[in-house]
Amino acid sequence: MLNKDIVAKINKQINFELYSAYIYLDMSNYYSDSNLGGFANWFRIQTQEERDHAMLFMDYLLYNGEKVVLEDVKAPHFEYTDFRQPPVEAYAHELKVTAAINDIYALAYELKDFRTMQFLDWFVKEQSEEEKNTDEIIKRYDLFGNDAKGLYLLDAELGARVYSPPSLVL
């Protein structure tokens, strides 16, 4: 059995990951409404990743005989003023996700819960990638996004992203 505080934090993380999926779906819809299908594609795939992350956390609890507690997922309430804002919001959100995962990891370390630490290692690495990817979109937008041709090419590049299921196996 897992420590009850670890279980509580992982349940909270499950709901945070589902909220993340909602945020990215909202961003995808914003870009779809703005006729930027590549940006919409990138954020829709990000939605799938976040949903998968929630499922991995759920599977971990269930695998360890623990109860999954699903809560209401609040709707995102962003009012986007320009095409740059969603990746900026995404980057800030990923920093919060990283902090939440690090918080679980710190407790697991304190409790010498090596099983949970090993499970979380994948997420620690994944969060590094998530932060890097959103930061790169911001930097590319800053370089090219204010030019119509540059925005078109960046949109095409983001449209080439394909979904890859997570590599983590319990």
The pTM (predicted TM-score) of the whole model is 0.95
Q: What pLDDT, on a 0 to 100 scale, did the predictor assign at position 170?
A: 85
Residue 152 structure tokens:
């078109």
Can you give the pLDDT at residue 1?
Answer: 87
CA angle 160–145–20, rounded 5-degree value: 60
Structure confidence at residue 155 (pLDDT): 97
Backbone angles phi, psi at 79, to 5 degrees: -115, 105
pLDDT on residue 118? 97
pLDDT at 103: 98
Q: pLDDT of the chain along its 170 residues, tens only?
A: 899 999 999 999 999 999 999 999 999 999 999 999 999 999 999 999 999 999 999 999 999 999 999 999 999 989 999 999 999 999 999 999 999 999 999 999 999 999 999 999 999 999 999 999 999 999 999 999 999 999 999 999 999 999 999 989 88
